[in-house]
């Protein structure tokens, strides 16, 4: 048990049921710091009951289980949404022209194949709606924590520690670089389409982290953050790799960081790591 006035910090190792994070949020009304950035928690368990710690200032934990669409499913959904929009606008002729360009396989497909395709699209659309509804619930819960100063939703291990296991090596300009592993699947999609704007209530937010998260953040999300979080001073997720590691950030990340630097030039971009954990606890207790 922890003292209800204490902050909780969890480092690597040890025996700990990570779903106990949800228990702490539900039963420790005076909890101000929950620092479990090395752990992940299933979203269903996280949202099982209301949180009572309305004075929470630091939340650091990876939320998983969002049941996101795959890249292929997302493409199918976008195609469906585009055609649905065309129909809504009465542009049936344009839609028919696009269908003709799909090729002979579409023209010659039998009714059974068409029925299977329709069923697949319907399933994908329904999954997308369920996923976004779940996002709305997560954002709603976080938005209730109006005193949050640190919201860290992801942590990717230092490349030097996983160099031999999870890094793909490539050649770039005659030097050996390594590319970080892909984002963690079924994590939060931090986009306005998914309901991110609910977090506009977090006016005290100073640190926002999404390292390793499959976040989907674009320029419009950055513009929203720059306007909605006036006290924001640190972001974790758009930083350059450390000079000591043989890695290179991807072009999109560099583009997004440049965009944020133009919007909020005084916001610092840094990596998330265990070295931050106890420092943050002392700062905000």
Task: Decide if 177 contacts 170 (C-beta within 8 A).
Answer: yes
In a domain, 254, yes or no: yes
Q: Which two tokens stand for residue 84?
A: 């649905």
Separation of alpha carbons 203 and 231, rounded Å: 7
Q: Is 169 helix (H, G, I), strand (E, B) or coil?
A: strand
Does residue 101 share a domain with residue 56?
no
Show Cβ contacts of residue 160 under 8 Å, excluding neighbours closer than 6 positions.
244, 245
Contacts of 67 (CB under 8 A, 6+ apart): 127, 130, 131, 134, 186
The reply to whether 1 falls in a domain is: no
Q: What span, in angstroms and rounded, lies between the C-alpha atoms of 85 and 43?
A: 32
Distance CA 181, CA 159 (A): 9
Parallel/antiparallel/unpaired status of strands 58-64 and 207-209:
unpaired
pLDDT for 262 equals: 97
Let me know if residue 145 belongs to a domain.
yes
**pLDDT > 70: percent of the chain:** 66
115 pLDDT exceeds 50? Answer: yes
For 154-178, the pLDDT digits (tens) are 886 544 333 444 444 444 434 444 4
Handedness of CA 142, 45, 48, 132 (dihedral sign): positive
Q: Which residues, in sequence order, are CB contacts of 141 under 8 Å at separation 6+? A: 46, 47, 51
- pLDDT-wise least confident of 22-31, 177-186, 214-223, 232-241: 177-186
The predicted pLDDT at position 37 comes to 85
Q: Domain check: are 154 and 225 in the same one?
A: yes
Q: What is the end-to-end Cα distance of the chain in Å, rounded?
A: 18
82/219 same-domain check = no
Q: So what's the pLDDT on residue 118?
A: 86
pLDDT band at residue 272 under the 50/70/90 scheme: confident
Q: Which of 96, 113, 131 is the last residue of a domain?
A: 131
Summarize pLDDT for 49-59 with one digit per residue, the tens: 999 999 999 99
The domain boundary, picked from 85, 103, 131, lies at 131
Say if residue 279 is in the same domain as residue 245.
yes
CA distance 32 to 60: 12
The number of domains in the chain is 2
Percent of all residues in the chain with a pLDDT value above 90, rounded to a whole number:
48
**Is residue 83 domain-shared with residue 39, that is, in the same domain?**
no
User: Cβ(154)–Cβ(100) under 8 Å?
Assistant: no
**86 lies in the same domain as 164:** no
Is it the case that residue 24 has pLDDT exceeding 90? no
Residue 153 domain boundaries: 8-69+132-284
Confidence of residue 265 (pLDDT cuts 50, 70, 90): very high
Check whether residue 136 and residue 215 sit in a common domain. yes
If you count them, how many residues does the chain have?
A: 285
* Shared domain check, 274 and 137: yes
- Note whether residue 212 is domain-resident: yes
- Is position 246 within any domain? yes
In a domain, 190, yes or no: yes
- Whole-model pTM? 0.78
Is the confidence at residue 116, as pLDDT, over 80? no
Looking at the structure, tell me whether residues 53 and 152 fall in a common domain: yes
Same domain, 170 and 240: yes
Structure tokens at 173: 């300009």
Pairing of strands 234-236, 207-209: parallel
pLDDT of residue 242: 62
Residue at 2 is within a domain: no
pLDDT per residue as tens digits for the range 65-106: 999 999 899 999 999 988 887 777 665 555 556 665 554 444
Which residue, of 82, 97, 131, is where some domain finishes?
Answer: 131
The neighbouring-strand residues paired with 168 are: 179
Based on the domain organization, do 219 and 107 belong to the same domain? no
Return the higher-pLDDT residue of 129 and 118: 129
Alpha helices in the chain (DSSP H): 20-27, 43-46, 71-88, 92-100, 104-108, 111-143, 159-166, 219-228, 251-263, 277-284
181 pLDDT band, cuts 50/70/90, is low
Distance CA 222, CA 3 (A): 38
Query: What pLDDT band is residue 23 in, cutting at 50, 70 and 90?
Result: confident
Q: What is the CATH number of the domain that holds 199?
A: 3.80.10
Query: Do 160 and 113 lie in a common domain?
Result: no
The answer to whether position 3 is within a domain reads: no
Q: Please give the Cα distance from 103 to 119 (Å, whole number).
A: 21
Higher pLDDT, 171 or 269: 269
């Amino acid at each position: 048990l922890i003292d209800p006035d204490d902050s909780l910090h969890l480092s690597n190792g040890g025996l700990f049921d990570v779903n106990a994070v949800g228990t702490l949020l539900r039963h420790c009304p005076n909890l101000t710091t929950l620092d479990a950035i090395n752990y992940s928690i299933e979203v269903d368990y996280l949202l099982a009951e209301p949180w009572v710690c309305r004075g929470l200032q630091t939340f650091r934990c990876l939320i998983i289980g969002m049941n996101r669409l795959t890249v292929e499913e997302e493409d199918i959904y976008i195609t469906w949404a585009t055609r649905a929009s065309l129909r809504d606008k009465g542009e049936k002729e344009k839609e028919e022209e696009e269908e003709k360009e799909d090729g002979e396989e579409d023209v010659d497909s039998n009714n059974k194949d068409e029925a299977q395709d329709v069923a697949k699209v319907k399933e994908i659309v329904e999954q997308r709606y369920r996923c976004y509804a779940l996002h709305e619930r997560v954002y709603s819960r976080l938005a209730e924590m109006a005193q949050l100063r640190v919201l860290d939703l992801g942590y990717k291990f230092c490349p030097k520690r996983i160099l031999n296991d999870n890094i793909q090596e490539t050649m770039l300009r005659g030097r050996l670089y390594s590319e970080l592993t892909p984002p963690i699947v079924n994590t939060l999609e931090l986009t306005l389409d998914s309901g991110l704007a609910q977090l506009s209530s977090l006016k005290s937010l100073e640190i926002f982290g999404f390292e390793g998260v499959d976040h989907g953040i674009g320029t419009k999300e950055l513009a929203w953050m720059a306007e909605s979080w006036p006290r924001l001073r640190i972001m974790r997720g758009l930083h350059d790799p450390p000079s000591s590691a043989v890695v290179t950030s991807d072009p999109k990340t560099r583009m997004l960081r440049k965009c944020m630097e133009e919007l909020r030039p005084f916001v610092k971009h840094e990596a998330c790591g265990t070295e931050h954990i106890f420092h943050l606890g002392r700062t905000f207790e």
